[in-house]
Structure 1
Amino acid sequence: MTDRSVHRLHPAMREDIGDLITQRPLPGPHIEQLDPFLFLNHHGPQTYPPHNRGLPFGPHPHRGFETVTFILEGELAHRDNAGHESIIGAGGVQWMTAGRGIVHAEVSPRAFLERGGPVEILQLWLNLPSRLKMSEPAYTGLQRADIPELSLDGGKVALDLIAGEYEGKSGPVRSLTGVFMSTLRMRAGGTFRIDGLEDRSVFLYVARGVVQVGNHADLVSPMHLVELDETGDAVAIRAERDALVVLGHAAPIREPVVAHGPFVMTTREEITQAILDYQAGRFGAPLG
């Protein structure tokens, strides 16, 4: 086994959405995508006062990809026009397949609007290959208790297994494309190593804390995406301070990516068709 080395570190760039603190490492000035990982927004951390307006993500459409939303603090209410509805709390995850088209809203629950509180949310976009872009929409809402937790390195590392397999355990999400997705909660001094990464794109984002990746000289501070070299089949991570890391890997799709707002397709013509289909109501009934 050969460990991958760090190619480049990408800091999240500040790009607030209204009064929601938002930082984005992907895409960034020096990286467009980590095929098939397309986009990551880091919202918060911040504290909303009582009688607030909540999150600004009212009804909007998507087509051609999947969203994975990590609720680190607070609560998130999901509702879509395929009939899915949930309120997911801290430590939970929402996994939505937009497929051929869905309209959804991700907002703060009514109780949060009244009382306020802390908010920290990550949203990651996963591309779908052209053969799956018109799949049926789907949604899975997972509370923290629904996600298997593996205790590693003498209890210094907790791996929350969302999708894929690790040490004989399976995550509750069955990805259409075999994506592995997890979060690592690491105590200072804890180490984690994962292999089997040959011909896989690795997504590694440090949400909190400080880690060292492999033998890279520079430590990775919070809100940095780690871009790894493509050679090697393993990754080693050591926590210098208590850390929260999002770790995923997937087979690259290697197809053109044409994105326009909430649509991700492979050609400009498909984007035009997505807009026409949405305007004509072919994404389903409006979400009031």
Structure 2
Amino acid sequence: MRTIQTVIKPQGQQLGPLTMHQPLPANGVDQLDPFLLLHHHGPTRFPARNSGLPFGPHPHRGFETVTFIYQGDVQHRDSSGFASTIETGGIQWMTTGSGLVHSESSSEAFKETGGMVELIQLWTNLPGRLKMVKPHYVGLQKNDIPAVTLADGKGTVAVTSGVWNGVAGPVQPVYDVELANVSLLAGGSFTRRIEASRTVLFYLLNGAIVVNGQKISGRSLVIFENDGDEIDVRATDESRILLGSAQPINEPVVSHGPFVMNTEQEIRQAISDYQSGRMGHLS
């Protein structure tokens, strides 16, 4: 089994109407190559006649963003012409590539009625050879994402990308990133084999588990060494886990706000391209 290096317990902070927890990056952990950033928003109740999510138009270049909608909905628009409203249980996977401007808001129906919101926003890096690919967006509803029932019948796995027990996820990222959401009942368990060379992303949203012999509870990012290929999980309470893996890119990471490149010159070019409108516009 892989050795647990450390466990990060993020502190909450307010981001507009949302409470946001950021386990990545954290003190002493800039990234889990190629995973750059993880924001866990909510759960937060929005009242009726609310103003929706606070993510207005902003640019990106050089990486991929993945949004998991656990509660509520997210209305996506971007300067490449992609648009969709994804509801509870769905995902949005955007390859920012050479650059675009996008916004994530709530639907008019949600703003009128209100309700619970819970999201995870994840950034995954791209190698230099792929940073300037054409932007692309995939929005999938819950029914578009295959669910695998665990062998003990006490859990399910919603497979976003990669393969789980022979079931392939619907998203084929431009860089090999596997992601799945695991929901466990108390007493549920699974063992997942991940090649020792791959970086593991293991985030416990809620609940209580024993992973590779260590008790973990609440919001927790578990960081593993690359010294084994097995992750063993047993739930002591109803729990949800975002589990992923990817081969490290092992390239320099230079970031400036919404741009993630390999060099300072590339960052300056990204800023210039955005300011001059070469990433498009979104009103």
> Do the aligned partners of 1:10 and 1:30 also contact (CA within 8 Å) in 2?
no
- Structure 1 position 272, deviation (Å): 0.5
192-201 or 89-98: which moved more?
A: 192-201
Indicate the SS of the match to 2:38: strand
| 2-structure distance, mates of 1:240, 1:32 | 31
AA partner of residue 55 (structure 2)? F
For normalisation by structure 1, the TM-score amounts to: 0.96
2:250 is matched with 254
| Residue type at the aligned position of 1:97 | T
1:287 aligns with 2:248: no
Give the deviation of 1:15 after TM superposition: 2.6
For 1:139, the equivalent position in structure 2 comes to 137
Count of residue correspondences: 283
State the 1:16 CA deviation: 1.7
Structure 2: 5+ residue runs without aligned partners? none
Aligned 8 A contact 1:153 1:190 in 2? no
2:65 match: 67
Aligned to 2:238: 242
- Identity rate of aligned residues, in percent? 47
- How far off is 1:85 after superposition? 0.9
Equivalent position amino acid for 2:53 in 1: L
Structure 1: unaligned runs, 5 residues or longer: none
User: CA–CA distance in 1 between the matches of 2:13 and 2:22?
Assistant: 7
Deviant stretches of 4+, over 2 Å: none
Residue 223 (structure 1) aligned with residue 254 (structure 2): no
Q: Letter of the 2:234 partner, please give it.
A: R
> Deviation string for 1:178-230 (max 9, x for gaps)?
111100011111111111422100000001111111112xx211211000111
Could you tell me how far 1:169 is from its partner in structure 2?
1.5
Instruction: Give the secondary structure class of the aligned counterpart of 2:109.
Output: helix
Counterpart CA distance in 1 for 2:14 and 2:194 is 37
Classify the secondary structure of the residue corresponding to 1:173.
Answer: coil
Distance in 1, matches of 2:37 and 2:194, equals 24
The answer on whether the counterparts of 1:211 and 1:241 sit within 8 Å (CA) in structure 2 is: yes
Matched position secondary structure for 1:99: coil
Matches of 2:194 and 2:114 in 1, distance apart?
43
